[in-house]
Structure 1
């Protein structure tokens, strides 16, 4: 979903102790670091001992709304990033992306630890990560790499801190704009620090880190992961920073509360569209679906909420990176959704279609856009082409005006939900269907 440069990002932007394995770990074939070219997929999902604990979609370096570190990159910096895993395990590895890098990226070293507070980590929990032959690794431009697996006991809904030391200049950095979480930066090598005193700079984006995967433990199940795919409403724009209140987070909490933690991975990008590429909001959904969804291990179900930016993007300001995008009809958007359905079914995935949420009173509000939204929602509800439907439109609607978001769920721009709205969305999903 798009955001407006007139609102501050800090607001809504329109837009128990664990025992950690201490024994030396002999890498197996499944644990060893792997490097792939961006977008590489296979005809059918291969069995993997790994499942996604946390994920995000990489983006091209850009700063459309507020300064970040992506365009300049890093040189002799340590970057510390906090994420919450949705399922637990006894081993962990990370995924790093140089998808949009213009040159090879050298990771001098990396650690994973249990989060304490802010940039601090828990004593005794720091684990140095290896990448095949050593602690450093170079990722080619356009590439993605997994670290080796390391013994690391973590519970579902526990926060994990990943720290990267970047000694050499990186150039522009592959990143994710709207993290709704704080990342930290320090000068020099502080990858093993327990305290956060050296991390004097902060950013509300993620850099290079695109996944934390886990294996083993009581949460292990066979191919039951869920990917949520979409724009800023999946990405969590409008939720409170550092609270994990995006709708996929709330969905993961429902599974955990039911005693069945699941891998719930968030592949939303603020501003993203199904049918148009954008400079600041990622490649079009029908292309990035292959890279972001079909490469995730042991996924069974995908929930798709995307399309409102296809309609609203033609009205984006000229000073947005790339300017406005071409106008999209309801029919063209539906064909885009059909492509997503075909891609999911070819991989044997169940795909759930979500109705587009309200725009009345927002920057996208117009009779033409409302008519398109109604047409697409009617198709999602009645065509039977999706395997199942979740009606986020009705879940968030004002009872007195179904075309407007309920005030109690509105983050303030009549477009993005707040924490309560994201909770209502998660509650609208049927756990048995997923």
Structure 2
């Protein structure tokens, strides 16, 4: 090709590309996004992902052409949704044959309102192949959802992706069946499982001033001691309070708690610093972060052995360093960080804490309360401590294990959080 013809050829290509852009299209026919009219996506519900431990995993062969229906409780509503699917810990790609959304008739049953059932697409197709280690966001779906409403997500899975990704502490019932379509009104004969799998979030389209709070924590945030299908974790109660105040009804709550979680070391899931990017920074619309972590770090130090005074001091030093890292990384993204003081747990049958553990807790809480560290503080310790025995949980807020609150305790935690923390 001569130089003149080469220039002519590229001129034609450039003109063609300009024409496509002017028409709001690209050559493959996919609509070209208009940034000026792009929807504002904010997380309404989320769950931290981990490798389910053996007693919380489903047998891999049960995921062969399986239909899995999972129900979640949203915080804020909106006219459109996107579903986030996770294969974060898979060792092979996850192939979803199809996925549907619908309104459940009850969280405690697999029934859905058939008239509300809609198919979800990925890149315009019903199926999607999610690489191992990845998360995938669905196409937007015009599907109005109300604040504090329930939503059923039903996915058909071709095969287990080698290793499962999920959230064992759902406190919500899921339904696993084979040979049934995702649109089935009822999953007859389904296996009942109180865990979530391969499902990490629901985003809603919302006005530009809408935002979310991420609650980063352990089993106390995850809701151990809450009622199955009752949505009575402290984060649920906080979401309800926010919705009943005109000044805060545009703020969502995303529960990113994991049972047994620690600041410094992995437990049943990745440590808080390791999962920070995925569970906090990757969430849409995050403006606030509540951190309630550390009780498992303190308890595990002496869970099976005696620790020296130097080991106690080093643990406290490392915990404070972890808090500082969380604050630093959140501030870099314009997120206000609110510290929650660690609640008392003397009497815990699991940890058997002594005065050294209690001393560690007091030192850490003193640092959390000190001005200039967190942007604000929620003094959960003061709220939940027994006035007669401040190193114990209040009996009327104790689930019975002297470590986790009861639903009444979770409600007290939520009611003690000043909503002014989240007002502009």
Give the TM bin, normalised by the shorter chain.
0.7 to 0.9
2:406 is matched with: 418
State how far apart, in whole Å, the 2-side matches of 1:67 and 1:56 are: 16
Matches within 5 A, 1:265-414: 265-278=254-267, 281-316=268-303, 329-362=315-348, 363-364=350-351, 365-414=353-402
Would the alpha carbon gap of residues 383 and 179 (structure 1) be closer, same or farther in structure 2, given more than 3 Å must change?
same
Asked if structure 1 preserves the Cα contact closer than 8 Å seen for 2:219 and 2:261, the reply is yes
Task: State whether structure 2 residue 184 is matched by structure 1 residue 165.
Answer: no
2:146 is matched with: 155
Deviation at 1:91, TM superposition (A): 0.7
1:202 is matched with: 192
TM-score of the superposed pair, with normalisation by structure 2: 0.85
2:123 is matched with: 132
1:115 is matched with: 104
State how far apart, in whole Å, the 2-side matches of 1:373 and 1:288 are: 23
Cα deviation 1:170-215 (Å, max 9, x = unaligned) = 33210111111111111123300112424x2111110000001111
Would the alpha carbon gap of residues 29 and 89 (structure 1) be closer, same or farther in structure 2, given more than 3 Å must change?
farther
State how far apart, in whole Å, the 2-side matches of 1:208 and 1:168 are: 12
State how far apart, in whole Å, the 1-side matches of 2:261 and 2:179 are: 35
State how far apart, in whole Å, the 2-side matches of 1:346 and 1:253 are: 29
Matches within 5 A, 1:218-257: 220-257=207-244
Deviation at 1:222, TM superposition (A): 1.9
Would the alpha carbon gap of residues 171 and 246 (structure 1) be closer, same or farther in structure 2, given more than 3 Å must change?
same
Asked if structure 2 preserves the Cα contact closer than 8 Å seen for 1:27 and 1:148, the reply is no
State how far apart, in whole Å, the 2-side matches of 1:141 and 1:283 are: 17
Asked if structure 1 preserves the Cα contact closer than 8 Å seen for 2:398 and 2:405, the reply is yes
Asked if structure 2 preserves the Cα contact closer than 8 Å seen for 1:61 and 1:70, the reply is no
Deviation at 1:282, TM superposition (A): 1.5
Question: Pairwise CA RMSD of aligned residues?
Answer: 2.1
Aligned length: 379
State how far apart, in whole Å, the 1-side matches of 2:404 and 2:86 are: 28
Would the alpha carbon gap of residues 288 and 73 (structure 1) be closer, same or farther in structure 2, given more than 3 Å must change?
farther
Asked if structure 2 preserves the Cα contact closer than 8 Å seen for 1:307 and 1:333, the reply is yes
Cα deviation 1:256-281 (Å, max 9, x = unaligned) = 11131421000000001111123xx2
Asked if structure 2 preserves the Cα contact closer than 8 Å seen for 1:177 and 1:206, the reply is yes
1:39 is matched with: none
State how far apart, in whole Å, the 2-side matches of 1:276 and 1:431 are: 32
Asked if structure 1 preserves the Cα contact closer than 8 Å seen for 2:94 and 2:130, the reply is yes
2:176 counterpart (178, 185, 191): 185
Which 5+ residue runs of structure 2 have no aligned equivalent? 1-28, 306-310
**Greater fraction of residues in helix:** 2
Greater relative contact order structure (CA < 8 Å, 6+ sep): 1
Asked if structure 2 preserves the Cα contact closer than 8 Å seen for 1:73 and 1:172, the reply is no
Deviation at 1:124, TM superposition (A): 1.1
State how far apart, in whole Å, the 2-side matches of 1:272 and 1:158 are: 28
Asked if structure 1 preserves the Cα contact closer than 8 Å seen for 2:124 and 2:139, the reply is no
Asked if structure 2 preserves the Cα contact closer than 8 Å seen for 1:56 and 1:211, the reply is yes
Cα deviation 1:230-289 (Å, max 9, x = unaligned) = 1000101110110000111000000111131421000000001111123xx221111211
Which 5+ residue runs of structure 1 have no aligned equivalent? 1-25, 32-46, 319-325
TM-score of the superposed pair, with normalisation by structure 1: 0.83
SS in 2 for 1:108: strand
Deviation at 1:106, TM superposition (A): 0.3
